[in-house]
Every structure is written in structure tokens, then in C-alpha cells.
């Protein structure tokens, strides 16, 4: 039908827009990192470098060519799966990034597994018991969590669980995981911290979505039909909020990416974010580039997903 065709066109437009954004990001990442003041070759070889060595290195890094040529070479490499080698370790950055990426995905996945249900229940409960002591307490707590920088939450978690209670180790390390116990111990701090941040964001958004639905005329009508609160939530509210809630989840998971950077650094977790922070400090440009690209791609994927879900739900509401 024409309506479906229009819908598919709208979805394709969203996907197209995010592909454009991805291209934009790729170009931006390259050019910002390519116009570095000072020469990387100098920095790499240090004070003792002979002019010949510098020239050779510059040549091997293509630094003697104009920026546009380097961009073409770089993009060509990207298209052929060649993302370059690290300036420091000389290993292919793709391999370095992908082994770290798995760790990060594990962290993010476990966090999402915890955070999403907790946040949905918390947000829904706050909406139902709106303006009660419970709601005010949850609101205050989540407001605090979303206001302060992520590292503060991490620091507080270390202070409470490691320093005060001696419950958990403060540093995460994947390599010495031998049992489920040590897995949980090394994972729990970063996951707890990250989950706090995400739950704060997500439960606030969930509350807003639920309050919107609970304030509708059809909920009032259900009350006047004699329906119980449980019946109203399950039968009337849930079918109407599924789509907006999916949007909330996708958006929250994209926030999670920002949190990952801090949490991995604080807990020395060997994920892709800490790799990126290290490579920024070391000015290892190819590594920065690929990490940035991976992050942006993940972020774009999630926001695009959120946009599409939002479109689908608004489509239904428009039809209504």
C-alpha cells in the first residue's frame, strides 16, 4: 500500500541520513587528526633521530604526501579492510581494536542486561506512584547520577565497595579470569558503575513516557470502566508504550558508549575505550582513528535504531 511505501521511504531516508553522517564523521576524524601540528615522525623517533631516518619514516607513513592524497590512500585502505598499523606497536590497528572491542561489548552487554530491566521497572513504578515519597526519592537519586560526571560515580563506587567495604577489587582484568567467582569480581565494579549511569538516564525517560500514557483520556476511561491498576497497565498502557520504550532503550545504550570511556579508564579495563584514551595520550593516530570510527559507527547504529523506532511509533499514533 502507499502508506507502507511512504513508511519504507521514510526509514530509508533515516538510514541514508545516518550513512551521510558516518561519511561526515569519517572525513572529520581523518582531517582533524591529519592536520596535527608538529610531525609524528619527529615525535616517534625522538631526539636522536637522524634526518635520513625521519625521512624514511615519513615516507613509509606517507607523511611526505599532501593531505588529500593521504586521505585517498586512507579511504582506499578502509574500503579494502586495511586500517593501517599502529605507530608504536607496529601491529595492524584492526586486530588490536577488534580484540579490545570484544571485551567492551561484553562489558556493555552485561551492563545492558542488568540496567534495562531495572530502569524500566523503576521508571514505571515512579510514574505510577507519581509525586509520592518513593517517586521523589528515585527522582532525586537519578537526577544526581545523571548530573555528575561519570568518573565521580566510578570514584564513589571504588570508595564504597573497595576502600570501605573491601568487597571488590578496584581493578578489572580479563586475563586472570579463571572462575566464575573471579569473573564476577573483576566485572562487578565497572558494570555497577556503568549500570548506575544508564539506569539514571533510562528510568527518567521511562517515567516521562509512562506519565504521558497514564495521563491520557483512554486511561481515565478505563478507570471509569472499573478496571484495576494492574489491568490498566497490562492491557491498555503496555501496547501503547512499547515503541516509545524501545526508543528510550536505544537512546540510553548510546549514552552507555560515553560512560564506557570513563569506566574502562578508571578500572583499567582492557576495552576499546581505554585503548583509545591511551592512544590519544600517545598520539598514535591510526589507532585513534579506528577507535573513533568504531565508536561513532556503534553510536550511529543505536541512534538510527532509535529514530526508526520513534518513526514507527509516531506512524501508529498518527494513524490513530
Partner 1 sequence: MTVASLTRRWAAIPRIPGALILFWLLLAVIGPLLAPFAPGEVVSRTVFAPISAHHILGTDYLGRDVLTRLLCGTSSTVLLCAAATLLACTGGVFLGMIAALKQGVTDTLLSRFMDGVISIPSLLSALVAVAAFGSSVPVLVLAMSLIYMPGSYRTSRMLALSVARRDFVLAARMRGEKAGYIVLREILPNMTGPVMADVGLRFIYSVRLLSNLSFLGVGLQPPMTDLGSLTRENLLGLVYGAPAVIAPALTIAVLTVGLNLALDSNRREPG
Partner 2 sequence: MRAQSGIIQPPSLISVKNLRLTGRRGRGPETPIVENVSFDVAEKEMLALIGESGSGKTSIALALTGYARRGCRIAGGHIHVAGYDVTAMPPAELRAFRGKTIAYIAQNAGAAFNPALPLMDQVIEPALLHHTMPRRMAIERAISLFELMALPSPGTIGSRYPHELSGGQIQRLMAATALITGPEVVIFDEPTTALDVTTQIEVLEAFRTVRREEGFTGVYVTHDLAVVAQMADRAVVLKNGVVQEEGTTEQILSAPRHSYTQALLAANTPRIRNNVTETKDTGKDVPALDVRDLVVGYGGTGRDGRPRHTILSDVSLPVLPGETMGIIGESGCGKSTLIRAIAGIQPWTNGGITFEGEPLAPRIEARSAAQRRHLQLVAQNADLVLNPAMSVGDTLRRVLTFNGDAATDVEIGHLLDMVRLPVALADRFPPELSGGQKQRVNLARALAARPRLVLCDEITAALDTVVAAAILDLMMELKRELGIAWLFVTHDLHALRSVCDRVAVLYAGHRVEFTPVAALETPPHHPYTRRLENSVPEMRADWLSDVIGQRDQACDMAPAMPSSRGNGCCYVSRCPVREAVCEISVPPVRRSPDGALISCHLTIQDLSRSTAPGDQS
Strand pairing partners for 92? 85
22 or 174: CB nearest partner 1: 22
Among 90, 166, 178, 225, interactor with partner 2 by CB under 8 A:
225
Among 104, 111, 240, 252, interactor with partner 2 by CB under 8 A:
240
Distance CA(283)–CA(270), nearest Å, equals: 18
Query: Which three cell numbers, joined as nine digits, stand for 316?
Result: 501508529
Among 3, 224, 230, 281, interactor with partner 2 by CB under 8 A:
224
The one of partner 2, partner 1, none whose footprint includes residue 58, by CB under 5 to 8 A per kind, is none
Strand pairing partners for 85? 92
Distance CA(93)–CA(315), nearest Å, equals: 43
Least distance from partner 2 to the Cβ atom of residue 226, Å: 4
Q: How far from 285 is each of 88, 93, 103, CA to CA, in Å?
A: 10, 10, 22
The one of partner 1, partner 2, none whose footprint includes residue 223, by CB under 5 to 8 A per kind, is partner 2
Stretch that binds partner 2, among 68-76, 169-177, 235-243, 255-263 (CB under 8 A): 235-243
Among 81, 166, 217, 230, interactor with partner 2 by CB under 8 A:
217
Distance CA(23)–CA(29), nearest Å, equals: 10
For position 132 contacting partner 2 by CB under 8 A, the verdict is no
Among 20, 113, 160, 223, interactor with partner 2 by CB under 8 A:
223
C-beta of residue 83 within 8 angstroms of C-beta of residue 93:
yes
C-beta of residue 42 within 8 angstroms of C-beta of residue 36:
no
C-beta of residue 54 within 8 angstroms of C-beta of residue 41:
yes
The one of partner 1, partner 2, none whose footprint includes residue 151, by CB under 5 to 8 A per kind, is partner 1
Distance CA(281)–CA(278), nearest Å, equals: 5
Least distance from partner 1 to the Cβ atom of residue 143, Å: 6
Among 227, 257, 277, 280, interactor with partner 2 by CB under 8 A:
227
For position 319 contacting partner 2 by CB under 8 A, the verdict is yes
# residues contacting partner 2 (CB under 8 A): 22
Least distance from partner 1 to the Cβ atom of residue 24, Å: 4
Q: Which residues bind partner 1 (CB under 8 A)?
A: 17-18, 20-22, 24-25, 28-29, 32-33, 35-37, 139-140, 143-144, 146-152, 155-156, 158-159, 163, 254, 257-258, 261-262, 265, 276-277, 279-281, 283, 285, 288, 292, 295-296, 299-300, 303
Least distance from partner 2 to the Cβ atom of residue 239, Å: 4
Among 125, 198, 222, 296, interactor with partner 2 by CB under 8 A:
222
The one of partner 1, partner 2, none whose footprint includes residue 292, by CB under 5 to 8 A per kind, is partner 1
Dihedral, 30, 33, 38, 42 alpha carbons, nearest 10: -80
Distance CA(248)–CA(130), nearest Å, equals: 19
Instruction: For residue 228, report the phi and psi dihedrals to the nearest 5 degrees.
Output: -80, 160
Residues with Cβ < 8 Å from 30, sequence gap 6 or more? 71, 74, 75, 289
Query: Which three cell numbers, joined as nine digits, stand for 235?
Result: 492491557
167 burial class (0-12, 13-18, 19+ CB within 10 angstroms)?
A: exposed
Binding interface with partner 2 (CB under 8 A)? 215-218, 220-228, 231, 235-236, 239-240, 316-317, 319-320
Amino acid at each position: 500500500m502507499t502508506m507502507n511505501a511512504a513508511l519504507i521511504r521514510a526509514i530509508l531516508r533515516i538510514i541514508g541520513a545516518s550513512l551521510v553522517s558516518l561519511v561526515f564523521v569519517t572525513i572529520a576524524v581523518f582531517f582533524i587528526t591529519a592536520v596535527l601540528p608538529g610531525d609524528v615522525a619527529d615525535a616517534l623517533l625522538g631526539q636522536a633521530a637522524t634526518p635520513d631516518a625521519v625521512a624514511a619514516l615519513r615516507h613509509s607513513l606517507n607523511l611526505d604526501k599532501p593531505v588529500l592524497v593521504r586521505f585517498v590512500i586512507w579511504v582506499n585502505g578502509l574500503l579494502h579492510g586495511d586500517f593501517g598499523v599502529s605507530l608504536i606497536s607496529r601491529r595492524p590497528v584492526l586486530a588490536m581494536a577488534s580484540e579490545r572491542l570484544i571485551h567492551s561489548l561484553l562489558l556493555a552487554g552485561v551492563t545492558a542486561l542488568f540496567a534495562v530491566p531495572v530502569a524500566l521497572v523503576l521508571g514505571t513504578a515512579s510514574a505510577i506512584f507519581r509525586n509520592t515519597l518513593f517517586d521523589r526519592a528515585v527522582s532525586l537519586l537519578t537526577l544526581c547520577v545523571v548530573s555528575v560526571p561519570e568518573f565521580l560515580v566510578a570514584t564513589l563506587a571504588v570508595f564504597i565497595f573497595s576502600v570501605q567495604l573491601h568487597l571488590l577489587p578496584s581493578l578489572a582484568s580479563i586475563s586472570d579470569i579463571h572462575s566464575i567467582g573471579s569473573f564476577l569480581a573483576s566485572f562487578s565494579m565497572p558494570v555497577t558503575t556503568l549500570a548506575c549511569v544508564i539506569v539514571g538516564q533510562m528510568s527518567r525517560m521511562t517515567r516521562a513516557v509512562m506519565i504521558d500514557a497514564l495521563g491520557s483520556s483512554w486511561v481515565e476511561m478505563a478507570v471509569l470502566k472499573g478496571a484495576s491498576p494492574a489491568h490498566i497497565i497490562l492491557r491498555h498502557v503496555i501496547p501503547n508504550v512499547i515503541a516509545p520504550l524501545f526508543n528510550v532503550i536505544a537512546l540510553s545504550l548510546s549514552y552507555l558508549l560515553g560512560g564506557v570511556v570513563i569506566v574502562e579508564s578508571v578500572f583499567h579495563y582492557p576495552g576499546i575505550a581505554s585503548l583509545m584514551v591511551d592512544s590519544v595520550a600517545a598520539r598514535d593516530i591510526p589507532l585513534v582513528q579506528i577507535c573513533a570510527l568504531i565508536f561513532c559507527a556503534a553510536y550511529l547504529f543505536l541512534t538510527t535504531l532509535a529514530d526508526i523506532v520513534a518513526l514507527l511509533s509516531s506512524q501508529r499514533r498518527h494513524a490513530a
